[in-house]
Amino acid sequence: MMRRKVYFIQPTYRDKFGKLLKGKSLYTMSLVLQALHSTVPHDWEVQLCNEYFEDIDFDTDASVIGISSMGYEIYRGIEIADEFRRRGKKVMFGGMQAHMSSDFALPHCDTVVHGNPGRTAMRQILDDFEKGEVQREYHCGVDLNYQIDYSTLNAKRLLFTPVITSVGCNYRCDYCCIAALYKGVCRVRKLRHVFAELEYLHGKTHRIAFMDTNIHSRHNYLRALCEGMLSRKFRFVWGAQATIDIGDDPETLRIMRKAGCKALFIGLESFTQANLENVNKAQSVKSYGRRIENIHRAGIKIAAFLMYGFDHDTKETAAELSELVTRHNIALPMINLLVPLPGTPLYTRLKSENRLMIKDEHDFLKNNIGYNSSFNLCLYKPLQMTADEAEAGFIDLLGRLSGYASVVRRSLCPDPRLSVFFLYSNWLFRREYLRLKKMRERRFAHSVQQAAECVT
Ligand code: B12
């Protein structure tokens, strides 16, 4: 009889030199292992591995191996899957990237699990493994109706302990994988589960981060969450992701701040209205200033996601954007070159316009200079510049925001601990800029040398 033991692995990934990226601490981490653990029936044993922190136990006595994938790590996931299958284990893949690239994962595993499996689906899948009747794919929908068991999470390794209240987002921006996956629907978890988790974490950790794509998807739910945190006298300091329209909800902002919210991570993406319209981002740039001010007035700092390389961006956009980041007192800019992710409407459009410059659909997954580094390669033909100019403009933009003075100005605020957090994050921002600049200069020197060799 098969041993009832499942080994869930969250792989790390290799940098472009092939080295496995590992470390001892992270800002925050995915909740995937704890969530999956909590869905497994009690008559099954569970083993967990976050490969960023720990090595994989290839000699495990588990019979079923479950491999997660949020992005780049699917390449490493496939190496792991192949090795376990060589050792006679059954392998299942799940997670965002396995869903979007199931054709890629399927040859390397017994099954791909789509969606967020709850206890019922997990019981079914493991039963099927036991009976030798596992299906090639499972479509589970979204089931997060369970309390997440945090006993396996080592909060000491993290600056912020992850908590999740919902999946999905009401918006359907063309570049977003969450929109493509959850189709503009946000599903919230039962508050009693969230409060039970917070109760467990209270006293063990002080800092938490909500992993939700948009904490403001359901306004009343968010208020009930904050009020519940206040009435339970939780003393967490926390951050979350939200859409900018939260800036028109001062009452909610006030309660959030009272409940411990110190920073919001907001996808502004562009300050050019035509760019937003072009990618179906239903926000008005005109409202940005007012909303940003309201958020600041509530005592909450803003970390802004921005992208460069949209159809209405030009070489001049870098200067404009850096000026706007400074003018609006954005505490931490988080900038990427636009990425056409397979499965999104943006990808389909650029492909139909013959503007994609990737041979393999998954080339974007190789854009990894370090753990969690920004997308810095232009994989499509922009409209107003060449791809090379877009890459140069992106580095120029980072450079404009990386001077010591602007790093310090952005980071400082009345709360000393928050200032330290932003100083550290902005220092990492500067470090990434220097690294990307050096890489580009090396590439340039190399091509000049090659050209010279051709001439002589
Ligand atoms: C925390 C986080 C990180 C952390 C992870 C650190 C770590 N080692 O754990 C950091 C900040 C380092 C990070 C890095 C990156 N991330 Co990230 N990250 C997240 C975030 C905010 C939360 C993840 C989470 O906890 N989710 C909650 C869990 C419960 O949900 P889940 O992971 O989807 O898992 C459920 C199901 O998918 C399924 N499932 C998952 N795995 C498996 C496996 C099996 C076997 C089964 C049965 C089921 C299953 O069941 C789970 C429970 O319901 C998500 C956004 C989000 N809200 O999900 C982005 C997100 C996953 N990240 C994303 C991206 C783009 C990245 C980066 C590429 C960013 C970059 N530029 O480098 C890197 C890639 C890292 C990598 N390893 O490949 C994208 C994914 C894009 C895509 N694939 O198309 C997301 C969706 C954010 C976004 N909106 O763009 N990330």
Q: How far is the CA of 265 from the centre of ligand 1 (A)?
A: 16
Rounded-to-integer distance, Cα 246 and Cα 260, Å: 16
Q: How far is the CA of 108 from the centre of ligand 1 (A)?
A: 21
2, pLDDT greater than 90: no
Output the CA torsion 401→405→409→414 (10° steps). Answer: 140
> Does residue 433 share a domain with residue 359?
yes
Any domain includes 449: no
pLDDT score recorded for residue 332: 97
Which atom of ligand 1 is least distant from the CA of 212? 57
Best mutation site among 8, 9, 46, 70 for ligand 1 pocket (most ligand atoms within 8 Å of CB):
70
Any domain includes 150: no
Among 85-89, 349-353, 364-368, which stretch is predicted with the lowest mean pLDDT? 364-368
* Per-residue CA distances from 430 to 334, 395, 405 (Å): 11, 11, 11
Any domain includes 452: no
The last residue of one of the domains, among 111, 142, 173, is 142
Residue nearest to atom 54 of ligand 1 (CA): 211
pLDDT score recorded for residue 124: 98
Q: How far is the CA of 397 from the centre of ligand 1 (A)?
A: 27
pLDDT score recorded for residue 6: 98
Any domain includes 132: yes
> Does residue 134 share a domain with residue 170?
no
CATH code (residue 227)? 3.80.30.20
Answer for the pair 411, 263: CB distance below 8 angstroms, yes or no: no
List ligand 1's pocket residues with C-beta within 6 A. Answer: 10, 13, 26, 28-32, 35-36, 50, 52, 66-68, 70-73, 92, 94-97, 100, 113, 116-117, 162, 164, 177-178, 211, 213, 341, 372-375
Facing residues of 142 across strands?
Answer: 116
SS3 sequence of 98-129: HHHCHHHHHHHCCEEEEEECCHHHHHHHHHHH
What count of Cα atoms within 13 Å lies in the side-chain half-sphere of residue 116? 19
Among 80-89, 129-138, 224-233, 443-452, which stretch is predicted with the lowest mean pLDDT? 443-452
Answer for the pair 138, 121: CB distance below 8 angstroms, yes or no: yes
Instruction: Please report, rounded to a whole number, the percentage of residues in the chain having pLDDT higher than 70.
Output: 97
Q: How far is the CA of 451 from the centre of ligand 1 (A)?
A: 42
Geometric angle at alpha carbon 93, from 91 and 95, rounded to 5°: 160
> How many domains does the chain divide into?
2
Rounded-to-integer distance, Cα 116 and Cα 419, Å: 37
pLDDT score recorded for residue 366: 64
Extended beta strands in 278-396, E state: 301-308, 332-337
Q: How far is the CA of 71 from the centre of ligand 1 (A)?
A: 7
- What's the mean pLDDT in 202-229? 95
234-290 pLDDT, tens digit per residue, is: 999 999 999 999 999 999 999 999 999 999 999 999 999 999 999 999 999 999 999
Output the CA torsion 173→175→179→181 (10° steps). Answer: 160
> Does residue 318 share a domain with residue 414?
yes
197, pLDDT greater than 70: yes
| 407 closest CA partner among 415, 398, 416, 417 | 398
> Does residue 75 share a domain with residue 167?
no
> Does residue 178 share a domain with residue 138?
no
Rounded-to-integer distance, Cα 113 and Cα 62, Å: 19
> Does residue 426 share a domain with residue 344?
yes
292-337 pLDDT, tens digit per residue, is: 999 999 999 999 999 999 999 999 999 999 999 999 999 999 999 9
Residue nearest to atom 70 of ligand 1 (CA): 372
> Does residue 186 share a domain with residue 212?
yes
Rounded-to-integer distance, Cα 343 and Cα 310, Å: 18
Q: How far is the CA of 96 from the centre of ligand 1 (A)?
A: 7
**C-alpha 220 chain-centroid distance:** 25
pLDDT score recorded for residue 365: 66
pLDDT score recorded for residue 249: 95
> Does residue 399 share a domain with residue 329?
yes
Instruction: Please report, rounded to a whole number, the percentage of residues in the chain having pLDDT higher than 90.
Output: 82
Which atom of ligand 1 is least distant from the CA of 371? 72
- C-alpha R_g of the chain: 23
Q: What is the SS3 assignment for 41? A: coil
Any domain includes 450: no
Which atom of ligand 1 is least distant from the CA of 144? 53
pLDDT score recorded for residue 314: 95
Rounded-to-integer distance, Cα 191 and Cα 166, Å: 10
Q: How far is the CA of 33 from the centre of ligand 1 (A)?
A: 11
- Element of type H or E holding 49: strand 45-50
Q: How far is the CA of 30 from the centre of ligand 1 (A)?
A: 6
456, pLDDT greater than 80: no
Q: What is the SS3 assignment for 196? A: helix
Q: For residue 93, what are the domain limits?
A: 5-142
> Does residue 172 share a domain with residue 134?
no
Q: What is the SS3 assignment for 436? A: helix
Which atom of ligand 1 is least distant from the CA of 31? 25
Type of residue found at 138: Y
- Which residue carries 């410059």 as its tokens? 357
Which atom of ligand 1 is least distant from the CA of 93? 45
The last residue of one of the domains, among 142, 176, 211, is 142
Answer for the pair 118, 146: CB distance below 8 angstroms, yes or no: yes
Any domain includes 361: yes
> Does residue 261 share a domain with residue 406?
yes
Q: Which two tokens stand for residue 222?
A: 């968010």
Any domain includes 455: no
CATH code (residue 26)? 3.40.50.2300
The last residue of one of the domains, among 116, 142, 168, is 142
Mean pLDDT, the chain, as a whole number? 93
Any domain includes 164: yes
368, pLDDT greater than 70: no
> Does residue 97 share a domain with residue 11?
yes
> Does residue 134 share a domain with residue 176?
no
Residue nearest to atom 27 of ligand 1 (CA): 31
